[in-house]
Structure 1
Amino acid sequence: MFSQPGDAVQCSKLVVSGNPEYPPLLWVPRDTPKVLVGAVPQFLKEVVKPLGLEVEVRNIGSWARVQRLAELGELDLVAGAFITSERITYMDYVLPPMVQLPTNVWVRRDKVFQYRHWPDLVGKRGSTLINNSFGQNFDSFAEENLDILGVRSIEQSYLMAEIGRVDFVLYELLQGKVKLERLGLEADFVALAPPVSKEGLFFAFPKKSRCNNEPLREAFMDELLALKRAGRFEQLIDEYAEKYVREVR
């Protein structure tokens, strides 16, 4: 149990969730659909073990729902979020980021178009997850200039691109590779360069969480930094990418 003298509330367990469409970092296993597994949940457990905290990483639905419940204070920690101006109003981010993630424009290999920068996407139709963010600058540009359909699962985005309903899919490079391999579509799609953005992925404590206090955040940060310096997160990414692709559907 994490506490300090004078604390009004003691925190013994973190109720956690994150983006369920984010393998190998987070995903919903077939045999236990009420939880999330992946590199991030395992990394989180190793971060908080020295603090004596239990962790419950729940599958509570879509990424949009996760963000809404974080805003309401019904979660103690969000396991993996980019920084946006909206999210910092209701979450306290823990430094450093777990990893820097590039997001790319994915297209069918036989439908490649010239892409150099964001304006090359104007006039085309894309798809990605509902309420997904790819950095404040790109998000602002996309809202004003691009036609991007938000859907509940990234598989839906890729399948729409496969049949020509959209021209491109916006998704992280790492996650896109393992998703396509699992779908058996890795030979059909290519990620265009350069990335549309490269953003840090952070743990974040909702401001209304009863577990959110400065001593806990500082202790959490110290353990996170030590594991990052040891290269632990990169090891877990490799391990869980293999597990995700091999998981029986």
Structure 2
Amino acid sequence: MELRPWALLLSLLLLPSLALAAGKCERLVITGSPDAPPLLWRDPQDPTHLIGATADVLQQVAKDLGVKIDLLYGGTRSLALDEVRSGRMDILADAPLNLGELDNLDYIHPALVQTDYLVWTRKDSTLAYATAGDLQGLKGAVSERARLTPAFDTFATQHLNLQRLPTLTPVFQKLLLGEVDYVLAGRYSGMALAQTLGMSNDLIAHDTPIDQPGLYLAISHNSACNDPWLRGQLAKKMTELAGSGVAQAALQRNLERWKAQLQQPVGTQTK
């Protein structure tokens, strides 16, 4: 079929914009929770940026894809989510799967990190924990910031006496004071906080996870970088990471990094 002159002209005019679209994603701006060590926290040397295990893994992924990334502080978790929804930032690095956000975000599967939520008790506790049913009739506590799976959240609401407090710090304090029998906290976030509060020798984390929510990369529908190529490449990388042990190694490394930071004199942690 012969192209009309105007159609040929239009196709020629579109060529530059198509070429630009193909290479539009040279830089990704990523944000996430600013207070979730060892996964993510603000860099004390540069508080505009986030560091941690998630940041390390994403830097490696970006290098493999030939894309530059900036892990920037976007405010509290809720404000960071707003930044991504709006498209001012491209990706939320630690998004729990939320069906209500599917109008705003594309979730990359599988999860970047699978978080083990453990049952923590005092060392002198006689609690014998094997399954969630063992906690019925006991007093527990959990942070309101805990990102539990909907299924476990429903179970906890219906069957457990679980007090929800604003952050993990008062949760652990209640446990140490004997005001609750157990707390639920992430394996690594709990270890980081126990170290922060000097409670490591007084608490036990039972090794069998009670819940294992995933934290996903979530790309804004309003991001100029949200295209099939990027989503496909990120999904491929997440699949490769799932069985590689890279994320676990990064978690261990950044737990030690967090501990070392805590041991620095206060005046030397920021510049």
Q: 1:54 aligns with which of 64, 68, 92?
A: 68
User: Normalising to structure 1: TM-score of the pair?
Assistant: 0.81
Alignment pair present for 1:12 and 2:26: yes
For 1:208, what is the secondary structure of its paired residue? Answer: coil
The CA distance in 2 between the partners of 1:71 and 1:166, in whole Å, is 38
- 2:100 alignment partner in structure 1: 86
- 1:207 alignment partner in structure 2: 221
AA matched with 2:250: L
The 3 A distance-change label for structure 1 pair 111 and 175 is same
- 2:127 alignment partner in structure 1: 113
Q: Which has the larger radius of gyration?
A: 2
The CA distance in 1 between the partners of 2:104 and 2:158, in whole Å, is 24
User: Normalising to structure 2: TM-score of the pair?
Assistant: 0.75
Does the 8 Å CA contact 1:48/1:223 hold for their aligned counterparts? no
- 1:128 alignment partner in structure 2: 143
% same residue: 26
The CA distance in 1 between the partners of 2:183 and 2:81, in whole Å, is 22
Q: 1:170 aligns with which of 184, 187, 206?
A: 184
Does the 8 Å CA contact 1:84/1:135 hold for their aligned counterparts? no
Poorly superposed stretches of 4+, deviation over 6 Å: none
The 3 A distance-change label for structure 1 pair 48 and 180 is same
Q: Deviations over 1:33-55 (max 9, x none)?
A: 33211111111111112434322
- 2:42 alignment partner in structure 1: 28
- 1:243 alignment partner in structure 2: 257
Q: Once the 2 structures are TM-superposed, how far is the Cα of residue 227 of structure 1 from its aligned partner?
A: 5.2
> Pairwise CA RMSD of aligned residues?
3.0
AA matched with 1:179: L
For 1:7, what is the secondary structure of its paired residue? Answer: helix
Gaps of 5+ in 2: 1-16, 267-271
AA matched with 2:107: Y
The CA distance in 1 between the partners of 2:180 and 2:75, in whole Å, is 25
Gaps of 5+ in 1: none
Alignment pair present for 1:190 and 2:204: yes
The CA distance in 2 between the partners of 1:238 and 1:72, in whole Å, is 33
- 2:79 alignment partner in structure 1: 65
Does the 8 Å CA contact 2:138/2:181 hold for their aligned counterparts? no
Does the 8 Å CA contact 1:85/1:136 hold for their aligned counterparts? no
Q: Deviations over 1:187-239 (max 9, x none)?
A: 11112354221233322213333322211111223344445565433332232
The 3 A distance-change label for structure 1 pair 171 and 73 is farther
For 2:184, what is the secondary structure of its paired residue? Answer: strand
